[in-house]
Amino acid sequence: MSDLYTKKVMDHFTNPRNVGVMKDADGVGEVGNPTCGDIMKIYIKVGERQTEKGEKEEYIKNIKFQTLGCGAAIATSSIVTEMTIGKTLKEAEKLTNNQVAEELGGLPPIKMHCSNLAASALKKAIKDYKDKKRR
């Protein structure tokens, strides 16, 4: 397996960051791929801070994930949490599957769908937060 993946993918697979459930999450996004069986759930806690211009902005204060799937699915979930913690919601929403794959040093073409799942789960968590806030 390790000859298919970069060292960074293997590191995030064997030592995933930010794993767990967040009971007081502000937003939760869950996605799955019925073809391969991967299921990802991302939890976000949103904070508010002031910009240099004195405006308020919302950012990802904390993020956790649970993934049931292959090594690439776990690695992409892990790297997404590292890439987005501290980012504004606007910045996090712009995250693409290609950026996720690039951050890991690449993924085999057959595993690129995992980066789509991780980015989609994050976007669903942000949407969930915004929907709850509107209510």
Catalytic residue set: 36, 114
Q: CA gyration radius for the chain?
A: 15
**Residue 120 to residue 39: CA distance in whole angstroms:** 11
Do 77 and 120 touch, CB atoms closer than 8 A? Answer: no
Closest CA to 49 of 92, 91, 93, 87: 87
- What's the rounded Cα separation, in Å, for the pair 66 and 19? 6
Contact 125, 44 (CB under 8 A): yes
d(C-alpha 72, C-alpha 20), whole Å? 18
